[in-house]
Amino acid sequence: MPSPPERASSLSPASFDLEEAPTFEDIRSEPVSRRQTNIDLARVESLRLTHRSTVGSSAGPAPREEWLPFGDGKDYPPLLPDPEKYVVGFIGVDDPMHPQNWSMSKKVLLSVILAYITFTASFASAIFSSAIGAIAEKFSISIEVATLGVTLYVLGFSAGPTIWAPASELIGRRWPITIGMIGYSIFTIGTATAKDTQTLFITRFFAGLFAASPFAIVPAAFADMYNNSQRGIAIAMFAMAVFVGPFASPFTGGFITMSYLGWRWTMYISAIMGFFGVVLLIFFYKETYAPVVLMEKAAMLRRQTHNWGIHAKQDEVELDLNDLITNNFSRPIRMLLTEPIVFLITIYMSFIYGILYALLGAYPVVFQRTHRMNLGVGGLPFIGLILGEFAGGVYSLIGAKYYAHKLHNNNDIPIPEWRLPPAIVGGIAFTIGLFWYGWTGWTRSIHWMAPTASGVFTGFGIYVIFLQCFNYLIDSYLQFAASVFAANTILRSAVGAGFPLFSRQLFTNLGVQWAGTLLGCLALIMIPIPLAFIKLGPRLRRRSRFAPSPVVFEEKSEAKNAKMRQREGKLRASKFTYLNGFSASARFFWISLTIPPRR
């Protein structure tokens, strides 16, 4: 074991070894080297925040004059000789207690539970839209006012992560997400039994606030369990749950509202789904956050050895209001405002998310008003969007094989920008879908299948863009996954909450064709965002105070893989033209079909 000065210098950026990179535990305990830059120091501090100061500061000894009496006439016992020896850890990279080393069957079970509760939360966000007409009639309010039931729920998504993300980094993922689903289910029951609009809207907001827990925590839980080669498939499942839910609820809610059950049962069914998720979480879900897993290990060792000094680093954290606000409530906002990657990717994802909820108002204009379908049948064209998302899922799984191949050839060192080429394909498909919908849905003389088919392109684009951007954020800010997604969810949900308020008027007053053209042009403008980060991403992460990956990893791995990139064709992101972007994306798609998966 090298001496402390030697170990400190081994963390210098110039001396990183690709084959024997230091672990986060090594970095966390290192003294500061004079050769480290300010950014390197900030990275080390960021890692310390993750392990020791998530919602507070490590507990230090109080002055002796402030000590409480020991009691029973006893004097204070001697201090532990070396407290660091009593701190538990994992026994190595293959420790079976570490979530990434669990059996695949266990990971799949937990992933299915997480995907289900995410689907439930997103399903409830849009099922209200199918009952807006009945609610407006029941409470004698306008359609615009009734739409607040959707807006306030999604606005709750925006506020929730400031609570659930830091909670998940203090006490783990399991209990915050369980409490969130309990609160969601209770407030959804409140919506179903509401006797006035005040109760209706207040309960919808708080249902969304609690339902935000899966959106803030589930991606971080997947990052806990899966390594770089597996995480893409897990996040694909999460993205499918996020987007299939809102598109599955309009026709489900439409048929329920039309039946003898009435609109209140749209909420009762959502609550039942939530309570079922609570049962799954309580009886089958296991904690995945490594620092809290070590807390459980320490508690078990204390019971077995009766040595009450054994503890985990997370046990040393004291809840401090100032640190709570500084390190957690403000961290997502700080990352959103100071990290260009987080900001621009979140802007793109927010626009996609806003379009998702805008379609809840746009589809009834075309299919119920123009084509004169009833409430239930008029929701069936959303199946086109769902089919597009499944097509995006298949495309993403093919791309995951290509990504695993590149990762293997790069010594399992991930380059975040590898996630972005599919987002270019998704951006093109998304733009085509919006133009297609606008110019085939404006008149009854065009068959209703034409605008329905446009949903395949739109759904494909929504899914692929969302998925690849999520993976890019995780790979770029792995140790702060919960905070990054809190920042992402705050802005994305705020934008998504606003779109339903004007989407119906937009498509009515501008006309379906020109409203579709406007949104299509905005989508076209945003296609260069992933192109820009393919070129500029490594430079921005090098300057980041939150990105934990040393840039030397990228530089050395780039040199090792020059021949492989020459064979596969490197995306020339410096030429910011749609022609080059499309060509590179086509090469990506072809390679993903021809390169066999790693065995």
SS3 sequence of 396-444:
HHHHHHHHHHHHHHCCCCCCHHHHCHHHHHHHHHHHHHHHHHHHHCCCC
The DSSP code sequence of 14-62 is GG--SSSPPPHHHHHTPPPPTT--HHHHHHHHHHHHHHH-SSEEE--PP
Per-residue confidence (pLDDT) for residue 57, from 0 to 100 = 52
Q: Is residue 486 part of a domain?
A: yes
Backbone dihedral angles phi then psi of residue 81, each to the nearest 5 degrees: -60, -45
Kindly state the tokens that stand for 457: 């392109």
Whether residue 275 is predicted with pLDDT greater than 90 in this model: the reply is yes
The CATH number assigned to the domain holding 388 equals 1.20.1250
Query: Is the domain of 210 the same as that of 306?
Result: yes
Query: Is the domain of 35 the same as that of 181?
Result: no
Query: Which carries the bigger pLDDT value, residue 285 or residue 321?
Result: 285
Q: Which of 228, 210, 233 is nearest to 115 (CA)?
A: 233
Per-residue confidence (pLDDT) for residue 413, from 0 to 100 = 80
CB atoms within 10 A of CB 571: 23
CA distance linking residue 458 with residue 440, whole number of Å: 14
DSSP assignment, residue 370? I
Q: Is residue 405 part of a domain?
A: yes
Amino acid at 87: V
Per-residue confidence (pLDDT) for residue 404, from 0 to 100 = 82
Query: Is the domain of 365 the same as that of 467?
Result: yes
Query: Is the domain of 34 the same as that of 107?
Result: no
Per-residue confidence (pLDDT) for residue 431, from 0 to 100 = 97
Q: Is residue 320 part of a domain?
A: no
Query: Which carries the bigger pLDDT value, residue 414 or residue 41?
Result: 414
Average pLDDT over residues 503-531: 94
Amino acid at 372: R
Query: Is the domain of 225 the same as that of 296?
Result: yes
CB-based contact 206:183 (threshold 8 Å): yes
The string of pLDDT tens digits covering residues 365-416 is: 999 999 999 999 999 999 999 999 999 999 988 888 888 888 888 887 888 8
Q: Is residue 233 part of a domain?
A: yes
Q: Is residue 568 part of a domain?
A: yes
- The angle subtended at Cα 495 by Cα 448 and Cα 346, nearest 5°, is 105
Query: Which carries the bigger pLDDT value, residue 556 or residue 400?
Result: 400
CA dihedral in degrees (486, 491, 496, 502; nearest 10)? 160
Per-residue confidence (pLDDT) for residue 47, from 0 to 100 = 39
Per-residue confidence (pLDDT) for residue 58, from 0 to 100 = 56
Query: Is the domain of 34 the same as that of 156?
Result: no
Per-residue confidence (pLDDT) for residue 62, from 0 to 100 = 66
Per-residue confidence (pLDDT) for residue 520, from 0 to 100 = 96
What lies within 8 Å, CB to CB, of 483 at 6+ separation is 165, 166, 169, 328, 331, 332, 335, 477
Query: Is the domain of 304 the same as that of 360?
Result: no
Q: Is residue 74 part of a domain?
A: no
What lies within 8 Å, CB to CB, of 27 at 6+ separation is 11, 43, 44, 47
In DSSP terms, 87 is beta-bridged to: 311
Whether residue 597 is predicted with pLDDT greater than 50 in this model: the reply is no
The string of pLDDT tens digits covering residues 200-210 is: 999 999 999 99
What lies within 8 Å, CB to CB, of 402 at 6+ separation is 588, 591, 592, 595
In DSSP terms, 311 is beta-bridged to: 87
Q: Is residue 498 part of a domain?
A: yes
The string of pLDDT tens digits covering residues 430-484 is: 999 999 999 999 889 999 999 999 999 999 999 999 889 988 988 888 777 667 8
The string of pLDDT tens digits covering residues 45-76 is: 433 434 333 455 555 666 766 788 888 888 88
Res. 507 pLDDT band, cuts 50 70 90 = very high
Per-residue confidence (pLDDT) for residue 61, from 0 to 100 = 63
The Cα-based distances of 176 to 54, 79, 200, 215, 380 in angstroms read: 15, 35, 25, 12, 35
Per-residue confidence (pLDDT) for residue 595, from 0 to 100 = 40
Q: Choose the weakest-confidence range: 226-230, 242-246, 538-542.
A: 226-230
Res. 581 pLDDT band, cuts 50 70 90 = very low
Q: Give residue 460's domain range.
A: 344-599
SS (H, E, C) 280-303: HHHHHCCCCCHHHHHHHHHHHHHH
Query: Is the domain of 247 the same as that of 352?
Result: no
Q: Mean pLDDT across the chain, nearest whole number?
A: 81
Amino acid at 588: F
Per-residue confidence (pLDDT) for residue 49, from 0 to 100 = 39
Query: Is the domain of 362 the same as that of 455?
Result: yes
Query: Is the domain of 454 the same as that of 530?
Result: yes
Q: Choose the weakest-confidence range: 209-223, 228-242, 497-511.
A: 228-242
What lies within 8 Å, CB to CB, of 184 at 6+ separation is 121, 124, 207, 210, 211, 213, 274
Q: In a 3-state reduction of DSSP, which class is residue 75?
A: coil
Res. 81 pLDDT band, cuts 50 70 90 = confident
Residue ending a domain, choose from 292, 314, 336: 314
Per-residue confidence (pLDDT) for residue 574, from 0 to 100 = 39
The string of pLDDT tens digits covering residues 127-173 is: 999 999 999 999 999 999 999 999 999 999 888 877 887 888 888 99
Range 385-413 burial, b when 16+ CB lie within 10 A, else e: bbbbbebbbebbebbbbbbbbbbebbeeb
CB-based contact 360:126 (threshold 8 Å): yes
Residue ending a domain, choose from 293, 314, 335: 314
Backbone dihedral angles phi then psi of residue 74, each to the nearest 5 degrees: -95, 150
Q: Is residue 501 part of a domain?
A: yes
Per-residue confidence (pLDDT) for residue 328, from 0 to 100 = 62
CA distance linking residue 480 with residue 411, whole number of Å: 24
Query: Is the domain of 368 the same as that of 490?
Result: yes
Res. 100 pLDDT band, cuts 50 70 90 = very high
Query: Is the domain of 378 the same as that of 307?
Result: no
Domain count, the chain: 3
Q: Choose the weakest-confidence range: 244-253, 437-446, 515-524, 543-552.
A: 543-552
- Helix (H) or strand (E) segment spanning residue 163: helix 161-171
Per-range mean pLDDT, top range of 3-7, 27-31, 346-350: 346-350
Per-residue confidence (pLDDT) for residue 322, from 0 to 100 = 74
Residue % of the chain over a pLDDT of 90: 51
The percent helix, strand, coil of the chain (3-state, each to 5) is 75, 0, 25
Per-residue confidence (pLDDT) for residue 548, from 0 to 100 = 61
Backbone dihedral angles phi then psi of residue 58, each to the nearest 5 degrees: -60, 135
Exposed, middle or buried by CB within 10 Å (0-12, 13-18, 19+), for 579? exposed
Residue ending a domain, choose from 314, 331, 361: 314
Largest Cα span, the chain? 93
Exposed, middle or buried by CB within 10 Å (0-12, 13-18, 19+), for 584? buried
The CATH number assigned to the domain holding 297 equals 1.20.1250.20
Q: Which of 163, 484, 469 is nearest to 334 (CA)?
A: 484
